[in-house]
Amino acid sequence: MTAESALEQALIARYGTLGKVTVPFLLRSDDGLVFTIRSYTALVRSYGLMQEFITPHCPEQNGMVERVIRTLKEQCVHQHRFETLQHASRVIADWISFYDTRRPHQALKMKTPVEAFALAA
């Protein structure tokens, strides 16, 4: 999956469709190549979004994302021995679905992200 397709899937999950967002929001990331290449930055702008980059070597500036990645590793990746890339992709996709739709989050007052943010199903 490319950064472009991941962004579009996230927009569909959030808004139920693709198109310029009515209330622009900020995408914060590191300055990795996938987030700075021309095709990605143009796509971000085409949807009316803005980008912000954290200071290099300061992952604490993106703490929530870092925490999700840590949780993914602890609760999914380190619990499996993947046989193929397809197997890993399927297991991780299933875990992300569980994380978003069935796992209550303390920071969301014990709601799932789908419940808390009324995401398109």
- pLDDT tens for the 121 residues of the chain, in order: 789 999 998 888 888 888 888 887 889 999 889 999 999 999 999 999 999 999 988 888 988 889 999 999 999 999 999 999 999 999 999 999 999 999 999 988 999 988 888 765 4
CB–CB of 58/31 below 8 Å? no
Domain ranges for the chain: 1-53, 57-116
Query: For residue 120, what pLDDT is reported?
Result: 52
Alpha helices in the chain (DSSP H): 3-15, 33-36, 38-46, 63-75, 85-101, 113-117
CA dihedral 105, 61, 53, 25 (to 10 degrees): 40
Query: For residue 111, what pLDDT is reported?
Result: 93
Report the chain's terminal Cα–Cα distance, integer Å.
21
